């Protein structure tokens, strides 16, 4: 049975974000509708599969669609590109249970244009009682809703040279550090592709906020899409040029020195900025280990993780870049770095790979 329900629980307001919930479970649809309504969202419609959602799109004009992956008649993977073709400005969050297969499908959806993904507990009982699921759902939608509103004019500050360590004009980066969150998987892939063969010259270390199940799959996805070897490292792994190291979900990835050589350090310490892995941990260690020979970039993501670590890198003389607001899904992390005056450049996504390449080759020093 297919179901479309129009929902209007409060008088509509242009200030509230319009949401459509697409899930084949009537219990999950009702639960999410109640949660979002209590948090001042307008749930304008619910649908039991992708086909029904597509037919209802023009009528209800949602700003955000919560799209389950596994549904009869038309699943989320098939519905996603059709929904975005109809309303390109709309944000779609794909929702799936946390399995390896669904992690692979979710990453595919991100490459097809989904703004974010959300892992839900297996079974309706777990979904209805999981406070983590509810909190993550509300947080993601709040951030996407805020990012969709007309932003205030923000002029990034120039790099705060008052705390810069002296950097030699001949210094070449010995590692590339990347931090990202919401919208990051697609952005990271584009940056790596933009580096081309130059990536073989240095190791690349990436902190992408993801659940543990996803990071290993993300590494495999990057390898397949870019032809560059990517992996989740083990604790104590030596750095190797031409290898992309992805921080494992649920563990911090940092750096230390062993017998004069930099190695990867993994630990299960407390979350930093509510994140584990945290960009700040990697950046802080890199400032200590590499001094002025690290090169870092902060890509799209919610929150401010990476700002304090970027400050450490700038003080050590290293270069920090940030993605611009126009090309970010969420200009939280890069915006925080830019507003703090820690970014050497604030760049659109499609130019970041080229600029990084120039720093690595010495064309820009």
Contacting residues for 248 by C-beta, under 8 A, at least 6 apart? 212, 215, 216, 232, 233, 266, 277
Q: Of the candidates 102, 119, 148, which is a domain's last residue?
A: 148
Q: Which two tokens stand for residue 244?
A: 């992309």
Sort strands 64-68 and 91-97 into parallel, antiparallel or unpaired.
parallel
The yes-or-no answer on residue 328 being catalytic is no
On whether residue 313 sits in a domain, the answer given is yes
311 and 186 housed in the same domain: yes
**Can you tell me the distance from the alpha carbon of 217 to that of 263, in angstroms, rounded to the nearest whole number?**
23
CATH of the domain at 179: 3.40.50.180
Verify that 203 and 343 share a domain, yes or no: yes
Same domain, 140 and 172: no
Judge if 104 and 18 occupy the same domain: yes
211 and 74 in a common domain: no
Task: Give pLDDT tens digits along the chain (365 positions).
Answer: 456 766 654 455 557 899 999 999 999 999 999 999 999 999 999 999 999 999 999 999 999 999 999 999 999 999 999 999 999 999 999 998 888 899 999 999 998 999 999 988 776 666 666 788 999 999 999 999 987 654 544 555 666 555 555 555 568 999 999 999 999 999 999 999 999 999 999 999 999 999 888 999 999 999 998 899 999 999 999 999 999 999 999 999 999 999 999 999 999 999 998 999 999 999 999 999 999 999 999 999 999 999 999 999 999 999 999 999 999 999 999 999 999 999 999 999 999 999 999 999 988 65
* Annotation marks residue 24 as catalytic: no
Exposed, middle or buried by CB within 10 Å (0-12, 13-18, 19+), for 354?
A: middle
- Residue 330's pLDDT is what? 94
Question: Where does residue 284 rank: exposed (0-12), middle (13-18), buried (19+ CB within 10 A)?
Answer: buried
188 with 142, same domain?
no
Active-site residue (options: 23, 68, 209, 292): 209
Instruction: Look at residues 124, 148, 172 and tell me which one is the last residue of a structural domain.
Output: 148
Q: How many structural domains does the chain have?
A: 2
Entry pTM? 0.89
pLDDT of residue 166: 53
Same domain, 170 and 282: yes
- We report the CATH number of the domain holding residue 37 as 3.40.50.2300
Are 136 and 182 in a shared domain?
A: no
Whether residues 243 and 214 share a domain: the answer is yes
Do residues 209 and 125 both lie within one domain?
no
Q: 115, 148, 181: which is the final residue of a domain?
A: 148
Q: Is residue 155 part of a domain?
A: no
* Among 48, 106, 181, 336, the one annotated catalytic: 181
Domain contains 25: yes
Catalytic residue flag (residue 252): no
Domain range enclosing 20: 4-148
Structural domain includes residue 153:
no
Task: Using the structure block, give the residue that is written with the tokens 């990436």.
Answer: 206
Q: What pLDDT does 15 receive?
A: 72
In a domain, 124, yes or no: yes
Strands (E), 151-292: 175-180, 204-208, 229-231, 243-246, 252-258, 261-267
Same domain, 134 and 181: no
- Are residue 184 and residue 91 in the same domain, yes or no? no
In a domain, 156, yes or no: no
Q: Identify whether 154 is part of a domain.
A: no
Which among 305, 312, 324, 345 is annotated as catalytic? 305
């Amino acid at each position: 049975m297919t179901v479309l329900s129009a929902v209007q629980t409060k008088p509509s307001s242009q200030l509230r974000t319009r949401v459509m919930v697409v899930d084949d479970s009537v219990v999950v649809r009702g639960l999410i509708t109640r949660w979002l309504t209590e948090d001042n969202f307008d749930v304008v419609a619910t649908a039991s599969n992708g086909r029904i959602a597509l037919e209802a799109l023009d009528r209800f004009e949602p700003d955000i669609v919560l799209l389950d992956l596994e549904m009869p008649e038309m699943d989320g993977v098939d519905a996603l590109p059709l929904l975005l073709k109809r309303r390109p400005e709309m944000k779609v969050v794909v929702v799936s249970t946390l399995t390896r297969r669904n992690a692979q499908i979710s990453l595919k959806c991100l490459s097809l244009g989904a703004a974010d993904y959300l892992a839900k507990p297996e079974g309706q009982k777990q979904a209805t009682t999981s406070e983590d699921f509810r909190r993550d759902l509300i947080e993601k939608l709040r951030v996407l809703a805020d990012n969709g509103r007309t932003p205030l004019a923000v002029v990034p500050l120039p790099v705060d040279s008052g705390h810069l360590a002296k950097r030699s004009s001949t210094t070449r980066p010995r590692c590339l550090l990347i931090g990202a969150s919401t919208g990051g998987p697609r952005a990271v892939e584009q940056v790596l592709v933009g580096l081309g063969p130059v990536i073989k010259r240095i190791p690349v270390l990436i902190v992408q906020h993801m659940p543990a199940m996803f990071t290993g799959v993300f590494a495999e996805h990057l390898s397949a899409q870019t032809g560059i070897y990517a992996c989740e490292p083990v604790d104590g792994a030596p750095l190797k040029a031409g290898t992309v190291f992805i921080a494992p979900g649920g563990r911090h990835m940092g750096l230390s020195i062993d017998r004069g050589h930099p190695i990867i350090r993994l630990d299960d310490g407390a979350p930093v900025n509510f994140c584990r892995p945290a960009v700040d941990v990697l950046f802080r260690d890199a400032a200590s280990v590499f001094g002025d020979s690290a090169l870092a970039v902060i890509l799209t993501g919610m929150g401010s993780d990476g700002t304090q670590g970027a400050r450490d890198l700038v003080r050590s003389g290293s270069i920090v870049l940030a993605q611009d607001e126009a090309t970010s899904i969420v200009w939280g992390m890069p915006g925080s770095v830019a507003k703090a005056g820690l970014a050497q450049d604030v760049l659109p996504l499609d130019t970041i790979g080229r600029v990084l390449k120039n720093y690595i080759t010495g064309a820009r020093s």
